[in-house]
Structure 1
Amino acid sequence: MPYRKLGRTGEKVSLIGLGGFHIGKQADEKESIEIIRTAIDNGVNFMDNCWDYNEGKSEVRMGKALQDGYRNKVFLMTKIDGRDRKTAAKQIDESLRRLKTDRIDLMQIHEVIRLSDVEKSFAPAGGLEALLAAKQAGKIRYIGFTGHKSPSIHLKMLETAAKHEFVFDAVQMPLNVMDAHYDSFEKNVLPVALKHNIGILGMKSMGSPYILESNTASPVECLHYAMSLPTSVVITGCDSLVILKQALKAAREFRPFTEQQVAALLSRTTEAALKGKYERYKTSDYFDGTHHHPEWLGPAREKSVL
């Protein structure tokens, strides 16, 4: 299993990370635990999760899987939705309990998909205060944020952090063969994050999984494209051992794409990518968990002035 450095943290993380959402989808909890432990036994040390995945089931299952000595073999990441300090602090503690651990390696502000998410996170008594307090208390080690909607919102988050003299340790974003053509995180956010030595977490390499429906790229090509970017880790959902083994094989056999290979793949995907048809997380609210469940964000409050 190849490993890369997670930005300014210096941590070594596996080239692929195990996506947490899919871990809560199996009918049999034992299958979920087997997928997690098989991934770890094969060198995957980056575990992705979130407070809201499958109503907490994903964290609960991962917590069980990380018993019996597995916890110390992984770099554990999860995310919270709370935008105010009180809600965020409560979700942090709930994640710790579900994951059966006293520390989370990377905690991220989840779904920064609106400008108001930026404002609330950095406002007095905002979510970032809870994360900083948890870090000081030893509950978390590093802080990051995620989002899938627009590069402009990611850039606003980074810009606002700089104004507050704060640097995120990691940032998670869609990085795939179609993002390169349409409202691109790769072109707009990646260079800024790298400039500040922020760890890059690539997600939605297959468009969850709509890119595959375009018949323009294979699953392995999608993974290898994301791996060929300066990503620290490419997070991929594995809802079965068969899919996990595909991801493991892709990581082990990975060789960075040449410029010619990249050009050929992007040429093949250009027409399908132009209107964002296969990147529904950018063009619709289908994937926006906090749109469907605004209560996850915490109590509504007046707009803050940065």
Structure 2
Amino acid sequence: MERRDFLKTATAATVAAATGSSASASAPVTRPEIPGMIYRNLGTTGERVSAIGLGGFHIGKQPDPADSIRLIRTAIDRGITFMDNCWDYNDGISEVRMGQALRDGYRAKVFLMTKIDGRTKVEYNKQLEQSMGRLQTDVIDLVQFHEIIRMEDPDRIFAEDGAIHAALEARQAGKIRYIGFTGHKDPAVHLRMLEMAVKHNVHFDTVQMPINVMDAHFRSFTHEVMPVALKQGICVLAMKTFGDNFILKSNTVQPIEALHYGLSLPVSVVITGIDKPEILDQALEAARTFKPLSSTQVANLLARTKDAASEGKFELFKTTPHFDGTAANPKWLG
């Protein structure tokens, strides 16, 4: 089946079952907080969310959909409230399965985020409607512009026919509540996006970026982008803690300490890929045992990773097209 045909089919199959969301488009939502999980403010939005976020890509990889649904619901039952996703993850399967998992009262327990690839107003609106259908909700809490990895991406999004206008209209209409953007390639592109937002009098609620034990040494989002975002009152969402396990393969850091490092920085959420129960247990254990790392502990950890990180060979998302889904599929951009 062609991708576009699949997307139409998936949307048609789910939109008929769409349920009303408890989320308000105008006020923060109170969600249950489970002992053992860390909860933090989502920037200046007034929302409270789990400091561990469930990565959307990995929950669409299980051969049996029931396993995906069970994993999502178990994560929620154990305290994770921040749900990550994207319109293009696993050809839409990640959103479809999350929508199925959020039935039966689970939608009201979570802060739901997805990402849109479209750079034009037309493509953004098309993808947003598909995402809402698959996720089975009439309100998505946060929608982020996905893979801002090229210098021209901000220009396209803020153009006269750009996606920013669709996002602002969707927020005004109550379809989405907050707006942000993501990217993993170069801090300069993130800074360009923030500059364009200021120029056009747009305030992003969130920005998602790679934050890990190697980032500080090479094209550092932590050093270059995070201070700017925080100064502007923009919530920072951390990703690529393990770099899809490439960072762990450097044999310089263990999973729990890598998660503790991210949690020790001024971020609201560390979004991590969770594809099986034992990886969920690992993330929950990191939250349960977390104590902010001291400056000495951080320095020692960064010293340990410095040589391996110096040329970005374990951060493939920065140095190769390995993670660049929109580069491989430019039609998604519109």
User: How far, CA to CA, are the matches of 1:55 and 1:123 in structure 2?
Assistant: 27
**Secondary structure at 1:186 match in 2:** helix
Query: Given the alignment of the two structures, is residue 57 of structure 1 paired with residue 93 of structure 2, yes or no?
Result: yes
User: How far, CA to CA, are the matches of 1:240 and 1:208 in structure 2?
Assistant: 14
User: How far, CA to CA, are the matches of 1:295 and 1:166 in structure 2?
Assistant: 26
CA RMSD in angstroms, aligned pairs only: 0.5
Structure 2's unaligned 5+ residue stretches are 1-36
Query: Given the alignment of the two structures, is residue 75 of structure 1 paired with residue 108 of structure 2, yes or no?
Result: no
Identify the residue that residue 178 of structure 1 maps to in structure 2: 214
**Match for residue 184 of structure 2 among 131, 134, 148:** 148
Q: Which amino acid aligns with 1:98?
A: R
**Match for residue 47 of structure 2 among 7, 11, 16:** 11
Identify the residue that residue 246 of structure 1 maps to in structure 2: 282
**Secondary structure at 2:270 match in 1:** strand
Query: Given the alignment of the two structures, is residue 278 of structure 1 paired with residue 301 of structure 2, yes or no?
Result: no
Q: Which amino acid aligns with 1:41?
A: D
**Match for residue 128 of structure 1 among 164, 186, 202:** 164
Q: Report runs of 4+ in structure 1 exceeding 6 Å deviation.
A: none
**Match for residue 264 of structure 2 among 225, 228, 232:** 228
Identify the residue that residue 174 of structure 2 maps to in structure 1: 138
TM-score (norm 1): 0.97
**Secondary structure at 2:302 match in 1:** helix
Per-residue deviation, residues 56-97 of structure 1 (Å, max 9, x unmatched)? 000000000000000000000000000000000000000000
Taking only the aligned residue pairs, the percentage that are identical comes to 62
Matches for 1:110-125 after TM superposition, within 5 Å: 110-125=146-161
**Secondary structure at 1:64 match in 2:** helix
Identify the residue that residue 304 of structure 1 maps to in structure 2: none
User: How far, CA to CA, are the matches of 2:161 and 2:281 in structure 1?
Assistant: 44
User: How far, CA to CA, are the matches of 2:291 and 2:224 in structure 1?
Assistant: 25
Query: Given the alignment of the two structures, is residue 106 of structure 1 paired with residue 142 of structure 2, yes or no?
Result: yes
Per-residue deviation, residues 106-157 of structure 1 (Å, max 9, x unmatched)? 0000000001111000001101111111111110000000000000000000
Structure 1's unaligned 5+ residue stretches are 299-306
Deviation at 1:286, TM superposition (A): 1.1
**Match for residue 193 of structure 1 among 225, 229, 232:** 229
Identify the residue that residue 27 of structure 1 maps to in structure 2: 63
Deviation at 1:221, TM superposition (A): 1.0
Per-residue deviation, residues 205-224 of structure 1 (Å, max 9, x unmatched)? 11112000000000111111
Aligned length: 298
Q: Which amino acid aligns with 2:121?
A: R
Query: Given the alignment of the two structures, is residue 36 of structure 1 paired with residue 96 of structure 2, yes or no?
Result: no
User: How far, CA to CA, are the matches of 1:45 and 1:126 in structure 2?
Assistant: 31
User: How far, CA to CA, are the matches of 1:230 and 1:258 in structure 2?
Assistant: 14
Identify the residue that residue 208 of structure 1 maps to in structure 2: 244
Identify the residue that residue 301 of structure 1 maps to in structure 2: none
